[in-house]
Amino acid sequence: MHDLKKLYDAVLEGNMAAARAAAEQALADGVAPQQLVTECVIPAMNEVGRRFECNEYFVPELMLANRAMKAALTIIRPPEKVGRVIIGTVQGDLHDIGKNLVSAMLEGSGFEVVDLGANVAPEKFVAAVREQKPNLVVLSALLTTTMPAMKRTLDALTQAQVRSQVKVIIGGAPVTQAYADEIGADGYGDNAVAAVALARHAVAA
């Protein structure tokens, strides 16, 4: 029987080469790609998120784990996509570490992710929704001063008559559930792990 712990440990430890090698060996041993995602990659990233919340891991460890996860996923390539997500940091905000982590974890959970990057204008989100026809839009803001851009983005989606076509979830250090309720977002995640769980629930609903 193949030892799935090798891939789990490689992602958790942020060892990109080991993650790639472990994924290749697992597939060669006949392990199903989706099993590697659900039993190794996602649990490892959940543990990364837990350690980050407990201040056992910090941003460098998050980024190393993210790289290792992506290296494994390029080998695994989950066969079934559970939904399409558009993600971006809102206009005026150049921070993307948290957004990148959520994006990578969404990919690891089987989502097709269209990452618009940072400092994304409301009009660009509207255009992406029209072009990509996603199930979900994820908005990130790391500054209190850029949170109003989330509302402007939601307003733009409404004005463009595409708001009803997608669920919108928001997140970021200064964001709260109360603010999500205030601006009419469909959900709020206070960390990357929560955001992925929320995304899966939103698509299934």
Read off the pTM: 0.74
Task: Kindly report, residue by residue over 56-68, the tens digit of the pLDDT.
Answer: 998 889 889 988 9
User: How far separated are the first and last CA of the chain, in Å rounded?
Assistant: 37
Q: What is the mean pLDDT of residues 22-49?
A: 89
For strand 111-115 and strand 187-189, is the pairing parallel, antiparallel, or unpaired? Answer: unpaired
The 8 Å CB, 24+ separation contacts for 150-153 are: 150/90, 150/175, 150/179, 150/183, 150/185, 151/183, 152/91, 152/122, 153/90, 153/91, 153/122, 153/125
Task: Kindly report, residue by residue over 85-114, the tens digit of the pLDDT.
Answer: 999 999 999 988 788 878 877 887 778 999
Residue 139 has pLDDT above 90, yes or no: yes
Q: Decide: 147 and 179 in contact? Cβ < 8 Å.
A: yes
Domains, the chain: 5-76 (1.10.1240.10), 83-204 (3.40.50.280)
Residue 187 has pLDDT above 70, yes or no: yes
